[in-house]
Amino acid sequence: MHIHPDALAVARTFAPDQPAILNRPHAAARAAKFFVENFPGRSLYAVKANPSADLLKVLWDAGVTHYDVASIAEVRLVRGTLPQATLCFMHPVKTPSAIREAYGVHGVRVFSLDSLEELEKITAATTEANDGVPPEDLTLCVRLRVSSEYSELSLASKFGCDLTQAAELLQATRQVADSLGICFHVGSQAMTPHAYVQALERVRAAIVDASVTVDIIDVGGGFPSIYPGMEPPPLEDYFGVIDRTYESLPVSYSAELWCEPGRALCAEYNSMIVRVEKRRGEELYINDGAYGALFDAAHVGWRFPVRLLRDGVSDEVEGFSFWGPTCDDMDHMDGPFELPSDIKSGDYIEIGMLGAYGAAMKTAFNGFDATQVYTVSDEPMASQYRGDRRDPRVSDNVVSLR
């Protein structure tokens, strides 16, 4: 595998006709080691964020042994890529056939649920997969609905049982589970550690109401990365708050603390080179867009960091919007994306921090699905893990005592 120094070198050497994905394995490995060494519990990689087999191997080599899978396709992918990994089927609504295959063929023992209906489904499907004998090795995590008010993208509507229904579900699940867990998700890109405090207080109420022994508390994902206009506190602050709140919960003396980072482990893994095909005032027509790796930029207004890959650029900067390559007016990204004012057709742009959900959301709509892939050795445009990041809570004229 040839490793190129950076995006500019790739653009100059290959002048790619198609969007070019740039992989940074060192950045993903660094993020994984940070979680493994600093989170006060076990870290499960949320595979949906980026299901690349190459990335899975990087994370495994960096110490991530548990994987949050949300479909039978993800179960097969991770089991085929990492035969020794522990797989946790954390989608709260699964088909019976997926449960049977996961349990009987792939050795999955961890499942999540948010209803009595799903509990009955898991019990029946795993019993069938276990030659008609009710299994005694299930770890079942009841998903609790919590607020997403502190996150950029909400995950509060689709899954999770209400606190008023949690006691009955926890008591019923305790009867069939070897290990009982409670999980939740505060939403994607949680911008304050308080999101987890609020959620864990709801967990406390659920445990007290149900009067059950709980073996696992899974705080889910939501750990933030850095994007323009989104400068979260350091991850150490999140870990510290979670640890202190968890330690006061009424759980088993041998209980485990879990988390499910997705974006936080893979955002810095990828960037992308696109080419400007046309300029119309402050609008740039580029060769990737809403149906490609820039899905989030179009559909949820995500602003990714950008830079022009050319020497001798203007010092003056403008805010540009992007049009993608398809014949669809929805293929538009408002931005604004700050770029030199002299950008023109034929120029190349690097779009950073696309490792989370970029490749995962890409489609072949209108025939625009071709990409080229290169490995580079430079740093991502922003990082939570290098140790040189300025604390956004501290003004420039105040010294931080952290």
Residue 213 has pLDDT above 60, yes or no: yes
| 388 domain-assigned | no
* Phi, psi angle pair for 20, to nearest 5°: -120, 120
pLDDT at 150: 82
Task: Answer yes or no: do 274 and 249 share one domain.
Answer: no
Query: At 357, which CATH number?
Result: 2.40.37.10
Integer CA distances (angstroms), 116 to 161, 169, 186, 356, in order: 10, 6, 22, 33
pLDDT at 401: 37
Q: What is the pLDDT of residues 232-249, one digit of tens each?
A: 999 999 999 999 999 999
Residue 381 within any structural domain of the chain: no
Q: Where does the pLDDT of residue 399 fall: very low under 50, low under 70, confident under 90, or very high at 90 and above?
A: very low
For this structure, is 327 an active site residue? yes
Please determine, for residue 116, whether its predicted confidence score (pLDDT) is greater than 60. Answer: yes
- Candidate from 73-82, 115-124, 264-273, 369-378 with smallest mean pLDDT: 369-378
User: Could you give the number of structural domains in the chain?
Assistant: 2
Q: Which range, of 112-116, 276-280, 298-302, averages the lowest pLDDT?
A: 298-302
Co-location of 33 and 14 in the same domain: no
Collapse the DSSP code of 140 into the 3-class scheme (helix H, G, I; strand E, B; otherwise coil) and give the result: strand
Residue 334 lies inside a defined structural domain of this protein:
yes
402 pLDDT above the threshold of 50: no
- Both structure tokens of 1: 């595998």
**On the CB side of 11, how many CA atoms lie within 13 Å of its CA?**
21
In a shared domain, residues 103 and 186: yes
Say whether both 204 and 171 belong to one domain: yes
What is the per-residue pLDDT across 58-83, written as a single tens digit (0 to 9) for each?
Answer: 999 999 999 999 999 999 999 999 99
In the structure, what pLDDT confidence band is assigned to residue 312 with cuts at 50, 70 and 90?
confident
- The pLDDT value recorded for residue 387 is 76
Please give the share of the chain, as a percent, with pLDDT higher than 70. Answer: 96
The full length of the chain comes to 402
Average pLDDT, the chain: 94
Report yes or no on 319 lying in a domain: yes
Whether the predicted model's global pTM rises above the 0.85 cut? yes
399 located within any domain: no
Q: Looking at 12-16, 92-96, 384-388, 393-397, which range is the least confident one?
A: 393-397
395 falls in which pLDDT band (50, 70, 90)?
A: low
- Is the pLDDT score of 179 beyond 80? yes
Same domain? For 64 and 125 the reply is yes
Q: Report helix, strand or coil for 151.
A: strand
- Residue pLDDT, tens place only, 1-14: 689 999 999 999 99
Peptide bond into 232 cis (omega under 30): no
Residue 397 is predicted with a pLDDT of 45
Q: Do residues 185 and 214 share a domain? A: yes
Q: Domain span at residue 314?
A: 3-22+269-376
pLDDT band at residue 392 under the 50/70/90 scheme = low
The verdict on residue 402 lying in a domain is: no
Residue 383 covered by a domain: no
Residue tagged active-site, from 141, 183, 266, 327: 327
Burial class (CB in 10 A: 0-12, 13-18, 19+), 397: exposed
3-class SS of residue 394: coil
Is the pLDDT reported for residue 400 higher than 60?
no
Average pLDDT over residues 205-225: 97
Tell me whether residue 387 is in a domain. Answer: no
Per-residue pLDDT tens digits for 88-99: 999 999 999 999
The larger pLDDT score, comparing residue 95 to residue 150, is at 95
Residue where a domain stops, chosen among 245, 266, 287? 266
> Do residues 257 and 333 both lie within one domain?
no
Q: Which CATH number goes with the domain that contains 56?
A: 3.20.20.10
pLDDT class of 398 with cuts at 50, 70, 90: very low
Helix (H) or strand (E) holding 143: strand 139-143
Same domain for 252 and 109: yes
Which single residue is written with the structure tokens 């995962």? Answer: 360
Looking at residue 349, its pLDDT comes to: 98
- The label of the residue with tokens 């022009």 reads 308
Q: 292 and 353 share a domain?
A: yes
Assess contact for 173 and 119: CB atoms under 8 A.
yes
